[in-house]
Amino acid sequence: MNTGAGSTAADAARTYPALRTRICELFGVRHPIVQTGMGFVSGPRLVAATANAGGLGILAGATLDLAELATAIAEIRQHTTQPFGVNLRADATDAGQRVDLLIREQVRVASFALAPRPDLIARLKEAGVLVVPSVGARRHAEKVAGWGADAVIVQGSEGGGHTGAVPTTLLVPQVVDAVDIPVIAAGGFFDGRGLVAALAYGAAGVAMGTRFLLTRDTTISPEVQRRYLEAGVDGTVVTSALDGVPQRLLRTEFIDRLERSGPLRRLARSARSAARFRRLTGTPWSRLLADGRAMRHSRELTWGQVLLAANTPMLLKAAMVDGRADLGVMATGQVTGLIDDLPSCAELIDRIIAQAQTVLDDLQGRGPDGDRR
């Protein structure tokens, strides 16, 4: 079992205190780099590989049922002794049971895509589990900080999946000035230059999704990864056609057709997707309806938008699990247009830290031998 031995390049970077940030101590990791909990992407293999490389890997728990989540946590533990996190849906009807599972398993971090209720935060914190919600607006960061969150992931508009309209370069310093907890910057990061830039804005590290998706440690099919690698910075689209809420996806013929279709056709497709999702997972209609009511309340969606949201799990699965890029959707950050390789997680994190050190050397006017130029 690989327990996460450090590399020469990464260890050398420890000479810079700036690269040992608040989240390193908080999470118990070597480097201020977080791999986000991407549905159908962030499985046990990717999470364990990230943890062993010195970052914080986050398991995508929202697309797993309770039993599958327990199995995935056990599988991660078979491959690493390092800390990791689990992403949960705060509006799930069984959110309380999932929180209980994380507490029993002594998972280090509970990550939330939506603001968790204060009572869930309190239960987790009392049990020693760190709470790290993801937000896209200053007011949301202020709210979860006031409720006791330990840190917050702040995603700018460049990020993939559901996203807001404010760029990372404006949102991160705004949130850093508004809250006292560590801020982790997300949206547009893929290398050591970005890490140093995030630290300069006052963030305590970076969170990356697309960059980790494009590694050899994911289970994504080569065909789907090829589609990501071939996309340019203009190869993404922010659309509400999928589930009624803006999200950034790879632009494909399927997405173009979806955007051209009318509301009634979208609703019909959503109803079919909901039925297919129910058959696949065995989820009772009563559970789907209860989740829909919770989603409608937490996101202030109309019932039409809730029905549209039934598209998302099955269409993401079609691409990310089944490899059908022609029939599914692929969430992505704009940064996909700047990525052209598939390193391992260890190679990626080592490279980021080594490049960050070089950037800091250059900023201080020092050469590679340490002498001031």
- Residues pairing with 237 in the sheet: 249
CA distance 289 to 293: 6
pLDDT of residue 248: 95
Q: What is the CATH number of the domain that holds 146?
A: 3.20.20.70
| pLDDT per residue as tens, the chain (373 positions) | 555 544 444 444 446 899 999 999 999 999 999 999 999 999 999 999 999 999 999 999 988 999 999 999 999 999 999 999 999 998 888 999 999 999 999 999 999 988 899 999 999 999 999 999 999 999 999 999 999 999 999 999 999 998 999 999 999 999 999 999 999 999 999 999 999 999 999 999 999 999 999 999 999 999 999 999 999 999 999 998 877 788 999 999 888 877 776 666 656 665 665 565 555 555 565 655 555 555 555 555 555 556 556 567 777 888 888 888 877 889 999 999 999 999 999 999 999 999 999 999 999 886 556 565 5
* b (16+ CB within 10 A) / e for 66-103: eeebeebbeebeebbebbbbbbbbbbbbbbeebbebbb
Instruction: Give the residue from 162, 133, 129, 163 showing the smallest Cα distance to 145.
Output: 133
Q: Which residues lie below 8 Å from residue 310, measured CB to CB, with a gap of 6+?
A: 243, 270, 271, 273, 274, 277, 288
Tell me the Ramachandran region of residue 366: left when phi exceeds 0, alpha when psi lies from -120 to 50, beta otherwise. Answer: beta
pLDDT of residue 336: 97
Is residue 369 in some structural domain?
A: no
In this prediction the pTM is 0.86
pLDDT of residue 96: 94
Q: Are 304 and 347 found together in one domain?
A: no
Is residue 41 in some structural domain?
A: yes
Q: Are 325 and 185 found together in one domain?
A: no
Please say whether the dihedral angle defined by the alpha carbons of residues 311, 94, 100 and 145, taken in this order, is positive or negative: positive
Q: Are 201 and 297 found together in one domain?
A: no
CA distance 252 to 40: 19
Q: Are 264 and 283 found together in one domain?
A: yes
Please say whether the dihedral angle defined by the alpha carbons of residues 262, 268, 270 and 272, taken in this order, is positive or negative: negative
Is residue 343 in some structural domain?
A: yes
pLDDT of residue 197: 98
Is residue 368 in some structural domain?
A: no
Is residue 279 in some structural domain?
A: yes
CA distance 229 to 207: 20
Q: Are 356 and 259 found together in one domain?
A: no
Instruction: Give the residue from 53, 70, 52 showing the smallest Cα distance to 3.
Output: 52
Q: Are 189 and 268 found together in one domain?
A: no
Q: Are 189 and 239 found together in one domain?
A: no
Q: HSE-up of 326 (CA within 13 Å, CB side)?
A: 0
Q: Are 187 and 257 found together in one domain?
A: no
Is residue 372 in some structural domain?
A: no
Q: Are 315 and 359 found together in one domain?
A: no
Q: Is 53:35 a contact under the CB 8 Å cutoff?
A: no
Q: Are 107 and 190 found together in one domain?
A: yes
Q: HSE-up of 259 (CA within 13 Å, CB side)?
A: 14
CA distance 49 to 1: 11
Segment (H or E) for 152: strand 152-155
Is residue 227 in some structural domain?
A: no
Q: Rounded to the nearest 5 degrees, what angle is found at the Cα of 267, between the Cα atoms of 263 and 271?
A: 175
- Domain encompassing residue 211: 8-220+339-363
- Residues pairing with 56 in the sheet: 34
CA distance 210 to 35: 9
CA distance 171 to 156: 6
Distances (CA, A) of 253 to 339, 346, 356: 22, 35, 38
Is residue 106 in some structural domain?
A: yes
pLDDT of residue 6: 47
pLDDT of residue 13: 41
Q: Is 284 exposed, middle or buried (0-12, 13-18, 19+ CB in 10 A)?
A: exposed
Instruction: Give the residue from 110, 162, 108 showing the smallest Cα distance to 135.
Output: 162
Q: Is 311:244 a contact under the CB 8 Å cutoff?
A: no
Q: Are 29 and 146 found together in one domain?
A: yes
Assigned token pair, 148: 């006791």
Q: Are 110 and 77 found together in one domain?
A: yes
Number of domains forming the structure of the chain: 2
Please say whether the dihedral angle defined by the alpha carbons of residues 25, 27, 29 and 33, taken in this order, is positive or negative: negative
pLDDT of residue 312: 72
